[in-house]
Structure 1
Amino acid sequence: MTAPAAVIALIGSLFFALGAALQQFEAVGADRPKLLELLRRPRWLLGGASILAGGGLHIVALGLGPLTVVQPMGVASLLFALPIAATLHGRRPTTSELGAAAVVAAGLIGLVLMVPESAGPVRFDLGELFTLLGLSGAAAALLWAGSRPASPAGRAALLATASGVLYGATATLVRVLVDSGWNWAYLLALPVPALLALMMLQRAYAVGHFGVSFAALQIADPVTAVAFGALLLGEPLPTGPVPIVAAALAAAGTVALARTTPLENRPPRAGRILES
């Protein structure tokens, strides 16, 4: 079933890329994109539905094939997203832009394969829950503060990294929630990092450097999942040169994207997102 799993995961990546590009197109240009405003935009909602469909297909693929095949297919979403976003903004992606994305994708394959497969039920207590929320929240706050004086590309990267940290915390919490029998304390805590991650990501998208935002998000998410898995769930950290090389490639590709991807302007249409 490996081939069907790879195909389904690849289609899921396309849906995820389409959703991300649509949401960025709606958020771009606003200093402080408001989630309630975005929720009134059909195209943004369509992007959300596309992302959910991509996630559902990824879960189906994981049920059919091994993680080592399915996870790298998810990396293709970056390569899909750049041409889609460029088309929405009325341009074509440059060769250098796609080359930088390919370098990020190569690094991401190494990073996503660092995420360990679950070897059994994972649990933590309420103290570890607060540690998860506190550390991810503090890291996101520091990244947000650091983004304020940064250049547009740097701001997009830092805000998207903050979102990736919060999404990584959300993924860790979901793992524990499923394995612990749907504990109500964990269930009530789940929307906190998830909603903060969504809002932070829209701010990253609003800056205008979509490729940088999307790459930083995809890098931060698996790295955070591995870090929390080691810190709170007792999972081993990956060793050897592969993680170092993968991280270096992903970082270098993101820097190259910041230099090659143009800054998108606010779409010239009525009913634009209000700024405050």
Structure 2
Amino acid sequence: MSPQLTGLVLALVSAFGFALSSALQHHANHGVTSTGAGSHLKALLRTPRWVLGQVLAMVSFVLHAVALQFGLLVVVQPVEVSGVVMAVPIRAVLDRRRPSPTETAVVTMTGGALALFLAVSRPSHGDETHLTTAGIFVPAAIVGALLFMVVGRSLGGRARANGFGFGAGVIFGLTAGMMKLSGHLADLSGGWASDVVSVIGTWPFWTVAVLGPAGVLLNQAAYRAGPLSASMPHLHILNVVVSITFGVLVFHEVPRHDAFSLLVEGFSLVVVGYGIFRLSRTESVEVLAP
């Protein structure tokens, strides 16, 4: 199996793991009736479904990081977004019901558009890493995310959720790029223990250690500020746009760019964005947000 195919498979497994983790944790929370944060957490820790969801989330994060080292950033990160699509049928199975015709149609449309993008783009792997570009891109993206956050805080309701969603999307896309860059800068010629130590010694790793939790907190703030449909589409679209831009500029991962390919790629991404927006308004996805 080629490295790119390995990265694609790992990304799909990771996306499924994240979707299943969210569904399991929501079901566990729904079944716990204790009051107070401390007692609620203790009750969750005694719930196998919630514990399994936490383990799946950690395993999926590791698989995502490994997928970024094998595969191309411009492929792996769009595939991770497919977890939103997978969440709908997973939620229906856990609820022991059939997805509605609308949910089925939107899932099929979004998944098909994502598959079309991957089939047409066929990006080439760059021969070098442009660290100077990374040194410019990273602070620029962080400033952009901060601006979205500041503007969101100055507004209210749905507009605040929009701003926070944009900011979280930028951070998540940048975090993916930093995860891949940490593997590129590390010496991975030894055993797994020395590889881990080498990765921890790179500056992108510590950027991820800060940006990752910051993105999660900003995402949760977006959920609290407004409905899921106000933040989730922006978050996932900016996540993909920032990660693809990072992959092209820093790793020189260039998708096919003749006129026809660009037209199909652009159309596919627009359809994926529309599908995510429609999915964010379905009950199956809305209940997973908290």
Interval containing the TM-score (normalised by the shorter chain): 0.5 to 0.7
Distance 1:204 1:23 in 2: 19
Match of 2:264 among 233, 238, 242: 242
Distance 2:128 2:110 in 1: 32
1:191 maps to which residue?
209
Q: Tell whether 2:178 aligns with 1:173.
A: yes
Counterpart AA for 1:83: P
Q: Which has the higher contact order (CA 8 A, sep 6+)?
A: 1
- After superposition, the Cα gap between the structure-2 partners of 1:146 and 1:246, relative to the gap in structure 1 and judged at 3 Å, is farther
Distance 2:212 2:52 in 1: 19
TM-score normalised per structure 2: 0.62
Distance 2:268 2:61 in 1: 24
TM-score normalised per structure 1: 0.65
Tell me the CA shift for residue 18 of structure 1: 0.9
1:222 maps to which residue?
240
Counterpart AA for 1:174: M
Tell me the CA shift for residue 48 of structure 1: 4.0
Contact 1:123–1:180 (Cα < 8 Å) also in 2: no
Q: Any residues of structure 2 matched to 1:128-207 within 5 Å, and which?
A: 128-129=134-135, 131-139=137-145, 141-142=147-148, 145-146=151-152, 149-151=156-158, 159-181=164-186, 182=199, 184-206=202-224
Distance 1:185 1:65 in 2: 21
Distance 1:179 1:98 in 2: 40
Distance 1:265 1:176 in 2: 34
Q: Any residues of structure 2 matched to 1:39-118 within 5 Å, and which?
A: 42=45, 46-57=52-63, 76-85=82-91, 93-110=99-116, 116=123, 118=125
Distance 1:90 1:137 in 2: 45
Contact 2:134–2:250 (Cα < 8 Å) also in 1: yes
- After superposition, the Cα gap between the structure-2 partners of 1:107 and 1:215, relative to the gap in structure 1 and judged at 3 Å, is farther
Q: Unaligned stretches of 5+ in structure 1?
A: 29-35, 268-272
- After superposition, the Cα gap between the structure-2 partners of 1:135 and 1:217, relative to the gap in structure 1 and judged at 3 Å, is closer
Give the number of the structure whose residues are more often helix, by fraction.
Answer: 2
The secondary structure found in structure 2 opposite 1:190 is helix
Indicate the percent of aligned positions where both proteins have the same amino acid.
26
**1:49-101 alpha-carbon deviations (Å, 9 max, x no partner):** 31332344567778999999988875653332123345667976422123223
Q: Unaligned stretches of 5+ in structure 2?
A: 31-37, 187-198
Contact 2:177–2:246 (Cα < 8 Å) also in 1: yes
Distance 2:40 2:251 in 1: 36
Q: Tell whether 2:25 aligns with 1:15.
A: no
Distance 1:157 1:104 in 2: 22
Rg comparison, structure with higher value: 2
2:195 maps to which residue?
none
